[in-house]
Amino acid sequence: MTTLIIDRRGHVPLPASAPPPMVDPFGRSITYLRVSVTDRCDFRCTYCMAEQMTFLPRKELLTLEELERLCSAFVARGVRKLRLTGGEPLMRRNVMMLVRALGAHVHAGRLEELTLTTNGSQLSRFATELADCGVRRINVSLDTLKPDLFRTITRRGDLGPVLEGIQAAQAAGIRIKINAVALKGINDQEIPEMLRWAHGEGMDLTLIETMPLGETGEDRTEHYMPLSEMRARLAERFTLIEDTHRTGGPARYLRVAETGGRLGLITPMTHNFCESCNRVRLTCTGTLYMCLGQEDAADLRAVLRATPDDAALHAAIDAAILRKPKGHDFIIDRTQRPSVARHMSVTGG
């Protein structure tokens, strides 16, 4: 297998002259980078993608070496948590070369956490190697435990390999958190069962409100469910206790007394989390989005390829961070098209 060249960039202790940490115009420190390594996915979830997707030409994607250089530049600027996303990140050819290179930052203490979000379909193949690279926690997107409904939501996926992948990751010592999009009239009645299952298997469960990103061929308003409503339903069955636990992301947590597990809520629509946003997103083409819900972006690929000198790259990052907005403009309304035209798979889930 091809070996990713590990050079001086990011794989030795940072020099005393390392560039300063990133702080946006609103005083928020940027310490969390989400990187979409591919826009491709083997599923076509109804709330995420159109059934017939046109993916980016492979020639437009950054190489794994370029992605590693960009990620290392952000680590040098104070990023302490790095999440690999997609599409489905484990579909990127030779992606483990990138994971291993980034894992060097974890082993050296420069990065607190390297993790990923996956649909779980390929997880059984890579679980042991991910653990070896320093991945200690993974989010698995899973919206139902019913095989037929799973195929309906994903339009083509099989539930069995996903459950096998979860088991393989746990066997490798990786903690799993289940992410489920709450869909009114589809899986909302199943959420209590999923909560009991996840907590019974030693996993947290986080619920997410559907977001208006990209045309999917579905009417989001028909199945949109505010999590305030779901929380009220769950409170009729469970004792929900406020929890101060944080993972660095947007979820706010509750402790479920009956199960002992945590329930996370990500509520971009009903109660946004913009005031504490510490995140930026990098796409597989080198486009940096300072906000998931805004179109403004910076082209880092051009700078990356123009010179091997990282000084220009850091200057471009600085200019981008100074444009980070205060918050997003998400809205779900039958009278409006998606708030943002690009699909979630382009930016990274």
- Give the integer Cα–Cα distance in Å for 335 and 250: 28
User: Is 211 annotated for ligand binding?
Assistant: yes
Q: From the CB of residue 194, how many other CB atoms can be counted at a distance below 10 Å?
A: 18
Alpha carbon 94 to chain centroid distance?
19
Alpha helices in the chain (DSSP H): 64-76, 95-107, 123-132, 147-154, 159-171, 191-200, 220-223, 227-235, 300-306, 310-321, 344-347
User: Is 117 annotated for ligand binding?
Assistant: yes
Query: Do 133 and 114 touch, CB atoms closer than 8 A?
Result: yes
User: Is 87 annotated for ligand binding?
Assistant: yes
User: Is 41 annotated for ligand binding?
Assistant: yes
For CA atoms 59, 65, 71, 76, the dihedral sign is negative
User: Is 284 annotated for ligand binding?
Assistant: no
- Give the integer Cα–Cα distance in Å for 273 and 289: 17
As beta bridge partners, residue 252 has: 265
- Give the integer Cα–Cα distance in Å for 100 and 135: 10
User: Is 177 annotated for ligand binding?
Assistant: yes
User: Is 141 annotated for ligand binding?
Assistant: yes
User: Is 47 annotated for ligand binding?
Assistant: yes
Binding-site annotation: residue ranges for GTP: 34, 83, 117, 177, 279-281
Binding-site annotation: residue ranges for S-adenosyl-L-methionine: 47, 87, 141, 211
Binding-site annotation: residue ranges for [4Fe-4S] cluster: 41, 45, 48, 274, 277, 291
Binding-site annotation: residue ranges: 34, 41, 45, 47-48, 83, 87, 117, 141, 177, 211, 274, 277, 279-281, 291
